[in-house]
Amino acid sequence: MYTTGITRDVVFKDGMLRAVVEFSNGQEVLTETFETNQTQPDSWLEEQVGKKLVHLNKMLALANSNEIGKVFTEEEQAAITLKDTYKQDLASFRQFVSAIRSGFTTETNPDFIALKAKLTTNFRSEYLELF
Partner 1 sequence: MRCLEAGGLVPSFTEVDLNVSAPPDYIPNPNGFYQFDGEVNSSFYETYNGKLIKLPIRHLLELPQGEYKLVLLKRNPAEIRASMERWTPHTSWGQDEVITYFYDLYFNELIAKLSERTDISITILNYADIVANPEQEFTKLVDAGWDIDVASASALVDETLYRLRLETT
Nearer to partner 1, 2 or 96 (CB): 96
Nearer to partner 1, 25 or 92 (CB): 92
- Alpha helices for 16-73 (secondary structure H): 44-63
What is the rounded distance in angstroms from the CA atom of residue 48 to the CA atom of residue 54? 10
Q: Which residues bind partner 1 (CB under 8 A)?
A: 90, 93-94, 97-98, 100-103, 116, 119-120, 123, 125, 128-129, 131
Nearer to partner 1, 9 or 126 (CB): 126
**Nearest distance from residue 44's CB to partner 1, in Å?**
27
Q: What is the dihedral of CA 38, 43, 45, 50, to 10 degrees?
A: -130
Could you report how far apart the first and last alpha carbons of the chain are, in Å? 32
**Nearest distance from residue 36's CB to partner 1, in Å?**
28
Nearer to partner 1, 40 or 122 (CB): 122
Provide the CA 36 distance to its chain's centre, in angstroms. Answer: 20
**Nearest distance from residue 41's CB to partner 1, in Å?**
25
What is the rounded distance in angstroms from the CA atom of residue 130 to the CA atom of residue 91? 10
**Nearest distance from residue 65's CB to partner 1, in Å?**
20
